[in-house]
Amino acid sequence: MRLAKFLAHAGVASRRGAEEIIRAGRVSIAGTTVIDPARDVDVDSGVAVDGRFLEGPEERMVFLLNKPSGVLSTAADAYGRRTVVDLVPARGARLYPVGRLDADSTGLILVTNDGDLAQRLTHPSFEVPRTYRAVVHPVPVGERALRSLREGVELEDGRTAPAKARQLKPGVLELTIHEGRNHQVKRMCEAVGHRVRTLQRIRFGPLRLDDLAEGAHRQLRAAEVETLRRSPSG
């Protein structure tokens, strides 16, 4: 098995994150630092990260979390601020978020130790749909602005792909996008003249937030994980 894949299966990071850790010189094999993510290894190779030996793949787990505002979408924070991983006790497993939500955004985020699944769900080629509920101002949002969101709007990093957009009630939008640009929903709304007051992700691929309480989490059932693997676009 390739070294980066071994680290991902051991729950260290996503495949992409594992490659960065390896290239940073933090991984050794039998006491020798290795910077080649494609190096072949197995459970008997003596793989260690930051001096800590890995015993092999962990039990793979995927959790759905309703992220509160102010919680960071990272595995750890140097300043001791709360992260999504802090909200998901997992019997010592090394968890990390799948993608991210802004600190002031709320809603559905996945937390896992399954590096292969995390990479699949965040890779742009899979175009996993993400649905958000945005409270904006001024209100209401006119049909011209909604049409622009549906057709794609011009941002500083290029034109967005067409989005699904509807106004649930004056000033409350539901938008579904397939891209993962930084602050994308906020920037799209601002581009059509409406500033986002609050933003909540309510769906990721086939998974819905439903009535899960803010700050609560649940472990995905095996069938749900298999659905994510087989058809991440939902």
Domains located in the chain, CATH noted: 3-53 (3.10.290.10), 62-113+210-230 (3.30.70.580), 129-204 (3.30.70.1560)
Percent of the residues in the chain that have a pLDDT greater than 90, as a whole number: 74
| pLDDT for residue 93 is more than 80 | no
Give me the pLDDT at residue 232, please.
Answer: 47
Q: Which of the pair, 81 or 94, is modelled with greater confidence?
A: 81
| pLDDT for residue 107 is more than 50 | yes
Give me the pLDDT at residue 234, please.
Answer: 43
Give me the pLDDT at residue 136, please.
Answer: 98
| pLDDT for residue 189 is more than 80 | yes
Please state, in angstroms and rounded to a whole number, the distance separating the CA atoms of residues 161 and 168: 22
Give me the pLDDT at residue 87, please.
Answer: 95
Rounded to 5 degrees, φ, ψ at 15 are -60, -45
pLDDT digits (tens, 9 = 90+) for 18-35: 999 999 999 999 999 999
The catalytic residue among 40, 42, 50, 102 is: 102
Average pLDDT score over residue span 3-19? 86
**Banded model confidence at residue 231, pLDDT cuts 50, 70, 90:** low
Per the annotation, the verdict on 102 as an active-site residue is: yes
**Banded model confidence at residue 8, pLDDT cuts 50, 70, 90:** confident
Instruction: Report yes or no: 163 and 149 within 8 Å, Cβ to Cβ.
Output: yes
Least confident of 161-170, 181-190, 210-219, 224-233: 224-233
Give me the pLDDT at residue 159, please.
Answer: 97
Q: Which of the pair, 89 or 166, is modelled with greater confidence?
A: 166
pTM: 0.78
Give me the pLDDT at residue 91, please.
Answer: 67
Average pLDDT score over residue span 67-78? 94
Average pLDDT score over residue span 50-65? 86
Give me the pLDDT at residue 92, please.
Answer: 67
| pLDDT for residue 58 is more than 80 | no
